[in-house]
Structure 1
Amino acid sequence: MKKVAVLGAGSWGTALSIVLAENGHDVRLWSHRAEQAEEINKTKRNDRYLDVTLPDQITAFYNLKEAVQDVEAIVIVVPAKAIREVARSLTGIIPEHATIIHATKGIEPITLMRVSEMIAEELPEYPADNIVVLSGPSHAEEVALRHPTTVTVAAKNADKNKHAQNLFNSDTFRVYTSQDVLGIELGGALKNIIALGAGISDGLGFGDNAKAALITRGLAEITRLGTSLGANPFSFLGLSGVGDLIVTCTSVHSRNWRAGNLLGKGHELEAVLEEMGMVVEGVRTVKAAQQIAEKQDVEMPITTGIYQILFEGKKPEEVVNQLMNRDKREELAELEILLKEHDS
């Protein structure tokens, strides 16, 4: 039995805690709210986020230092905007040899840093190559119900990668490994933008044709941006790329799809976010992706269109017309170029 701290008691942090507990580990689930930690310990429930009873091996903590004491691994599962604060709070209290794993999908606007880069910047004494990212098509609601799920963990340090894989892998939660940290993080973050678009499409009343086109062309522009930054193009064909893209664009469990659906029905962004009551990572990521695309001189028409809807007041119908009337081009030419560049 290994001691593992999970930082973040939302739906995803709770679901990952269940996976770890059922693998026989002693799980310390940290919440930044004392009343939530107390409720979990008293009732073995976290009803605001998941309608399941938690295993006895999960104990909730409010005190961060106590939560991470003597643990073998620290799993960070807080919203991207809270990553820096939580990482900073770990300064001086990380046990020696503990593995840091994060399962947060996002990119920071302005700095344009990925989550692992933010953690590394806030914890300069922790080796950046040891930070592991966990990503893939994995709705918390289904993971908590023990439905079959597959994800990828990625780190430059192969030993840390294998450690994370061994902690989480089970009969219902299969874990693959990768060393393409850049590609795995970008796929997990950028697919939330396309999921917003899929929700908007459904909110406008369009059918499966439109959504299939959006997902396919969305994958093309995610791959364009990712490879321009040095990611392996094949990572975007894997679990954290096309796998996560499919599930996030087609499921009612997806916060990004639900937010987009409301936008497509004419709701204003501020009202949508208030109604959701939970973080919609794609909204923040759109800003960062638009900045990166401009910096890299990479064309991302879907991302640009969604940015215009969210932050420039453009109507969804206008953006659809804008996308459908772009210059004609050959479909596979850009993919062939990307693959040739990668092979060379």
Structure 2
Amino acid sequence: MTSVIGAGAFGTALAISLSRSGAEVTLWARDVAQVAAMATTRENAARLPGMAFPDALRVSDDAGSLPDGPVLLAVPMQKLRVALDDLPDFGPRPLVACCKGIELSSGLSPTQVIAEMRPDAPAAILTGPSFAQDIARGLPTALTLACADEGLSADLQSTLTTQNIRVYRTTDVPGAEIGGAVKNVMAIACGAAIGAGLGDSARAALMTRGYAEMQRMALALGAQADTLAGLSGFGDLALTCTSDLSRNYRFGLSIGTGEGFDPSVTVEGAATARALKARARALSLDMPITDAVVDLIDGTLGVRDAMTRLLSRPLKEE
């Protein structure tokens, strides 16, 4: 039995996919009215309209009654600590982060926040190129499950693999987490470039040099280079930087076009960019695209000026 904390689009999609494969799944939400509506309509009309809940999926607003088994934490990165602070003690059950980014206040990754808040619970992260709508519709998706405990990683891999989600496993947790964090920042950069009319060649350059920044940060934190070439690195970067379904990419588009962006939409890359800039400074790492994204978000630099700044950097070998 598996529980999913957070009835946003991604948490709901995971719950649908897992339960569609026959597993008993509980989807938890804090909002009593939302839970009542989902129980009645058998769908999450607010986040994934038209996606019917399988019979094996139950909904609940009582976190204390969740069944034994892994707990998937499908909450935004910047709300993960608050969620863990409010939720009851789940004991030795594995806690699997389903968010991407770096906590702005502490500079910690998802599993590091879990380890700090719940030191007795095994921590893992599920990450990789995926959109909630694709998962809920049953479209083929491949994800990475990163966990330092190889035995637990294999167990979770089996539990979380569904009819349409193929899960690969790794023990390189830092690599998987940095890949998922940095790709959101690069998606903002790519969206801004396209929104400003700088073209697909500029986007390709940003993706490639953004991948170099991803590797630079990950290797400095002890990650393995091969991990960044996988789903949680290159794969997620390719998807997020090229699709309008990406909230980070759409946020970048709004910067490039000068249009407003819905403040209610969670953009993980905005806070993560600032956190990564601080981490890079502490590690004496050069991450010029990340720095430019922070300036774009703050409004201290325009898109074309940012590109000019990047293009005028000293020449060097690739």
Q: Compute the TM-score of the two structures, normalised by the length of structure 2.
A: 0.96
Report if the CA contact (8 A) 1:200-1:316 is conserved.
yes
2:116 to 103, 117, 121: 121
2:250 maps to 1:258: yes
Unaligned runs of 5+ in 1: 332-344
Selected match of 1:205 from 183, 197, 213:
197
- Which of 40, 50, 72 aligns to 1:75? It is 72
In structure 1, the partner of 2:59 is 60
Tell me, yes or no, if structure 1 residue 310 matches structure 2 residue 294: no
Q: 1:214 aligns with which of 206, 211, 235?
A: 206
Partner of 2:241, secondary structure, is helix
Of 113, 129, 132, which residue of structure 2 is paired with 1:137?
129
Equivalent residue in structure 1 for 2:153, among 141, 157, 161: 161
State the 1:124 CA deviation. 2.4
With the length of structure 1 as denominator, give the TM-score of the two structures: 0.89
- Residue in structure 2 matching 1:242, options 234, 244, 252: 234
Question: What is residue 337 of structure 1 aligned with on the other side?
Answer: none
Amino acid at match of 1:33: D
Following the alignment from structure 1 to structure 2, what is the Cα–Cα distance between the partners of residues 13 and 246? 22
User: 2:261 is matched with which residue?
Assistant: 272
Separation (CA, whole Å) in 2 of partners of 1:312 and 1:297: 25
- In structure 2, the partner of 1:42 is 40
Match of 2:271 in 1: 284
CA distance in 2, matches of 1:8, 1:190: 23
Cα shift at 1:91: 4.3
Report what 2:182 is aligned to: 190
Structure 2: how far apart are the matches of 1:236 and 1:140?
A: 22
Secondary structure of 2:120's partner?
Answer: coil
1:111 aligns with 2:113: no
CA distance in 1, matches of 2:228, 2:24: 34
Residue 21 of structure 2 aligns to which amino acid in structure 1? N
**Residue 169 of structure 2 is aligned to residue 177 of structure 1:** yes
Secondary structure at the aligned position of 1:220 is classed as helix
Report what 2:82 is aligned to.
Answer: 85
CA separation in 2, counterparts of 1:216 and 1:76?
31
CA distance in 2, matches of 1:65, 1:173: 28
> What is the CA deviation profile of residues 196-232 of structure 1, one whole-angstrom value per residue up to 9, with x for unaligned ones?
0111011001221111111111000110111111111
Aligned to 1:22: 20
Instruction: Specify the alignment match of 2:311 in structure 1.
Output: 324
Identity across matched positions, percent: 33
Contact 1:200-1:261 at 8 Å conserved across structures? yes
CA distance in 2, matches of 1:123, 1:168: 22
By how many angstroms is 1:88 displaced?
A: 2.2
Deviation at 1:182, TM superposition (A): 0.6
Q: Alignment partner for residue 231 of structure 1, among 216, 223, 239?
A: 223
Which SS does the other structure have where 1:242 is aligned?
Answer: helix
The whole-number CA distance in structure 1 between the counterparts of 2:152 and 2:282 is 33
Structure 1: how far apart are the matches of 2:314 and 2:197?
Answer: 25
- Aligned residues of 2:184 and 2:240 also touching (Cα < 8 A): yes
Whichever residue aligns with residue 102 of structure 1, its letter is A
Asked if the contact 1:273–1:280 (Cα under 8 Å) also holds between the matched residues in 2, the reply is no
Report SS of the residue matched to 2:158.
helix
1:319 and 1:177 map into 2 onto residues whose CA distance is 37
CA contact (8 A) 2:18 2:162 kept: no
> 2 CA distance for matches of 1:206 and 1:229?
33
**2:187, 2:248 within 8 Å by CA — same for their partners in 1?**
yes
RMSD: 1.3
Q: Could you tell me how far apart the structure 1 residues matched to 2:45 and 2:61 are?
A: 18
TM-superposed CA distance for 1:90, in Å, is 3.6
Q: Give the partner amino acid of 1:272.
A: F
- Residue by residue over 1:116-170, the C-alpha shift from the partner in whole angstroms, topping out at 9 and shown as x without a partner, is 11111111232xxx21110100111111111111011011111211121111213
Q: Report if aligned partners of 1:134, 1:154 keep a CA contact under 8 Å in 2.
A: yes
> Secondary structure of the equivalent of 2:197?
coil
- Aligned AA (2:68): V
CA distance in 2, matches of 1:181, 1:75: 16
Structure-1 separation of matches of 2:262 and 2:220: 32
